[in-house]
Amino acid sequence: MADLLHIEQLSAGYGEAVILHELSLSLAQGETLALLGRNGTGKTTLMNTIAGATRQHAGRIRLDGVDLHHLPSHARAAAGVGWVPQERDIFKSLSVLENLTAVARPGAWTVQRVFEMFPRLAERQTNMGNQLSGGEQQMLAVGRALVLNPKLLLLDEPLEGLAPIIVQELLKAIARITRDEGLSAIIVEQHPQAILAISHQAVVLDQGRVIHSGPAADLQAKPELLDQLLGVARDKA
């Protein structure tokens, strides 16, 4: 299967501070990548760099044959990057419907399809963004990325701070978007087992470098290795 995303010898960070060091990875068309690591290891920086929100010092990023590393963030979105940052970045002074229609591009993912996937948003389509719960805001952020009709979806800790029932609803939606619909995605999440279960590949970062890369199922089946890579000590008692 051909690579959709190819990152080669990437070094990037904020200003003069370099967070990612000569990082390389690839993602095939239609696959989902679980991006794991302890806090501060460079996961969000990598997502921000793909989206064009950091300073890139070296390396290349190619998406479906297009060099992204020379492009500003709005051009990367036009090239096929759909980004859901930790902050969600919805328009809180616009309604749910306006949030979606303001950014929609022609393609398979329409506003109506987003409403079908997230009935809560359909019920609240006239509500302002600041009138939504945290879970509803996250659904709206995902919906906004989808109506861009991206080639690659970046989800940075989409389950953070959400109630368990909303976590399950979002996981089901993400699985449908990726597994069933075949949209390629990179997902950063602090609950690795939940994301490994719906991912094809897994990469673990430490100090801005790749320390593990392989099938997600293999890592899911080896919790001791996963704990070791994430620096989690198991209770020996």
> What per-residue confidence (pLDDT) applies to 231?
86
pLDDT score of 233: 45
Alpha-carbon span 158 to 141, nearest angstrom: 9
Q: Which residue, chain included where needed, has tokens 């759909």? A: 82
HSE-CB of 169 using CA atoms within 13 angstroms: 15
Q: How many residues does the chain have?
A: 237
DSSP string, 141-178: HHHHHHTT--SEEEEESTTTT--HHHHHHHHHHHHIII
Instruction: Give me 189's structure tokens.
Output: 């999440």
List, for residues 114-167, the tens digit of each pLDDT value.
999 999 999 999 999 999 999 999 999 999 999 999 999 999 999 998 989 999
pLDDT of res. 1: 64
Residue-range domain boundaries for the chain: 1-80+169-237, 83-149
**Span 185-234, pLDDT tens digits:** 999 998 899 899 999 999 999 999 999 999 999 999 999 999 999 986 44
- pLDDT, position 191: 86
**pTM for the whole thing?**
0.94
Which residue in 19, 23, 35, 25 sits closest to 5, CA to CA?
Answer: 25
Do β-strands 17-28 and 3-14 pair in parallel, antiparallel, or remain unpaired?
A: antiparallel
Where helices occur in the chain by DSSP H, the ranges are 43-51, 73-79, 96-101, 111-117, 119-123, 134-146, 164-175, 192-196, 216-220, 223-230
**In the numeric block, which tokens belong to residue 177?**
């978007």
- Architecture (CATH level 2) of domain 1-80+169-237: 3-Layer(aba) Sandwich (3.40)
Please determine, for residue 235, whether its predicted confidence score (pLDDT) is greater than 70: no
Rounded CA-CA distance 144/18 in Å is: 30
- Quote the crossing angle between the two packed helices 164-175 and 134-146, to the nearest 10°: 10
